[in-house]
């Protein structure tokens, strides 16, 4: 596995629909309460779409924001990848629709499905094509609208998810920068987290919880060891925002300082493929991550799938 690559995150942006649904709002229609949800998950509210809003709408707005922030014109994009498990149609892909909506007239476009690991899988693909010299600018979007696929009568799953989209612009750099990638899958765990065609999300919460707590520190340790770095060399770890308790337990298990892990699940819930780019954008906005810094993005979820991607931000 390569430990350097000519690729950086040149910009990021996100979009969530304006409608905020609090835990108390949910307790009006489900047998649940704010205290239970906060204690078990750290989630306080989530943003949910109105009926007329599509996955493409969210993805397009996030794409615009990332382009804007990176100062890149749509015509300069060579590739659009959209990671999603909730596309509007089987085809055309969400990516093709985004490509058209933003005017990325020179870009190839396709969707990628790896559930909550989708964004890390997609940055892996995009960055590798950049490293080969095939492409210079890749727009990677993570978007999901789980409010359309959860069973709103099932309190064990309905409380967890929110809708949203996040995007990054990956760009080729002159010099190589630290880089690490590791992806994995175990289809034998497919039933633990599933959304069948036309049916709602079902989940074995306890098993998925344990999987998250195990895989986060294991991936982080693998990456740091390979790069001959310590946790202090990373500006930030951006884990998939599934549940604050999973992240806290994972940090403890690996012996890593919890402050290194970015957390915003309290405000957005689990937005699946969108959670990492939304978190990354907020970290950039808060200046927690600055030019040349290294970040580790860690995804895990349905498949089962998992992945870690370490790369630099705003490098030249």
Active site residues: 116, 240, 270
The stretch near ligand UT7 (CB under 6 A) out of 52-60, 62-70, 153-161, 261-269 is: 153-161
Q: Quick check: 84 binds ligand UT7 (CB under 6 A)?
A: no
Q: Quick check: 100 binds ligand UT7 (CB under 6 A)?
A: no
CA–CA gap between residue 17 and residue 80 (Å, rounded)? 22
When binding is defined by CB under 6 A, the residue of 49, 125, 159, 213 that contacts ligand UT7 is 159
Peptide bond into 92 cis (omega under 30): yes
Using DSSP, state whether 169 is helix, strand or coil: strand
Q: Quick check: 314 binds ligand UT7 (CB under 6 A)?
A: no
Question: In whole angstroms, how close is the CB of 46 to ligand UT7 at the nearest point?
Answer: 13
CA–CA gap between residue 134 and residue 212 (Å, rounded)? 34
When binding is defined by CB under 6 A, the residue of 51, 174, 206, 228 that contacts ligand UT7 is 206
Tokens 């094509």 map to which residue? 129
Q: How does DSSP assign 241-274, residue by residue?
A: -S-HHHHHHHHHHHT--GGGB---HHHH-B-GGG
Question: In whole angstroms, how close is the CB of 44 to ligand UT7 at the nearest point?
Answer: 13
Q: Quick check: 169 binds ligand UT7 (CB under 6 A)?
A: no
Contact pattern from residue 14 through residue 53 relative to ligand UT7, giving x for each residue in contact according to CB under 6 A and a dash for the rest: ------------------x---xx--xx------------
Q: Quick check: 155 binds ligand UT7 (CB under 6 A)?
A: yes
- Cβ nearer to ligand UT7, comparing 32 with 221: 32
Q: Quick check: 279 binds ligand UT7 (CB under 6 A)?
A: no
Q: Quick check: 243 binds ligand UT7 (CB under 6 A)?
A: yes
The stretch near ligand UT7 (CB under 6 A) out of 68-76, 83-91, 167-175, 202-210 is: 202-210
Q: How does DSSP assign 85-149, residue by residue?
A: SS-SSSSS-HHHHHHHHHT-TT-EEEEE--GGGHHHHHHHHHHHHHHTTS-SEEEEEEEEEGGGT
Q: Contact at 8 Å (CB) between 11 and 69?
A: yes
CA–CA gap between residue 175 and residue 150 (Å, rounded)? 45
Q: Quick check: 301 binds ligand UT7 (CB under 6 A)?
A: yes
Question: In whole angstroms, how close is the CB of 270 to ligand UT7 at the nearest point?
Answer: 5
User: Tokens in use for 295?
Assistant: 């970040």
CA–CA gap between residue 96 and residue 83 (Å, rounded)? 12
Q: Contact at 8 Å (CB) between 18 and 47?
A: yes
Q: Quick check: 297 binds ligand UT7 (CB under 6 A)?
A: no
Find the binding residues for ligand UT7 in span 108-137 (CB under 6 A). 116
SS3 content of the chain, % helix, strand, coil (to 5): 40, 30, 30
Binding residues (CB under 6 A) for ligand UT7: these are: 32, 36-37, 40-41, 116, 155-156, 159-160, 203, 205-206, 208-209, 242-243, 270, 301
């Amino acid at each position: 596995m390569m430990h350097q690559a000519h690729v950086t995150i040149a910009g990021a942006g996100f979009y969530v629909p304006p409608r905020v649904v609090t835990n108390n709002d949910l307790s009006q229609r489900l047998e649940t309460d704010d205290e239970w949800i906060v204690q078990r998950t750290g989630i306080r509210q989530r943003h949910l779409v109105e009926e007329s809003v599509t996955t493409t709408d969210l993805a397009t707005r996030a794409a615009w924001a990332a382009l804007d922030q990176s100062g890149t014109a749509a015509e300069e994009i060579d590739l659009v990848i959209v990671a999603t498990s909730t596309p509007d149609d089987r085809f055309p892909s969400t990516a093709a629709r985004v490509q058209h909506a933003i005017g990325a007239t020179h870009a190839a476009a396709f969707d990628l499905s790896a559930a909550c690991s989708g964004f890390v899988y997609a940055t892996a693909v995009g960055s590798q094509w950049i490293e080969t010299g095939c492409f210079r600018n890749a727009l990677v979007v993570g978007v999901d609208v789980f409010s359309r696929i959860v069973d709103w009568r099932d309190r064990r799953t309905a409380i967890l998810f929110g809708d949203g989209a996040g995007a990054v612009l990956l760009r080729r750099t002159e010099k190589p920068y630290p880089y690490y990638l590791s992806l994995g899958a175990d289809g034998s765990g497919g039933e633990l987290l599933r959304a069948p065609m036309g049916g709602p999300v079902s989940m074995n919460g306890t098993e998925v919880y344990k999987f998250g707590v195990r895989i986060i520190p294991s991936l982080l340790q693998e990456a740091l060891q390979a790069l001959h770095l310590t946790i202090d060399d990373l500006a930030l770890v951006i884990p998939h925002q599934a549940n604050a308790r999973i992240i806290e337990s994972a940090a403890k298990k690996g012996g890593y300082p919890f402050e290194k892990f970015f957390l915003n699940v309290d405000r957005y819930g689990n937005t699946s493929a969108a959670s990492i780019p939304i978190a990354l954008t907020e970290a950039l906005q808060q200046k927690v991550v600055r030019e040349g810094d290294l970040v580790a993005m860690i995804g895990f979820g349905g498949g089962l799938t998992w992945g870690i991607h370490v790369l630099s931000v705003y490098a030249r």
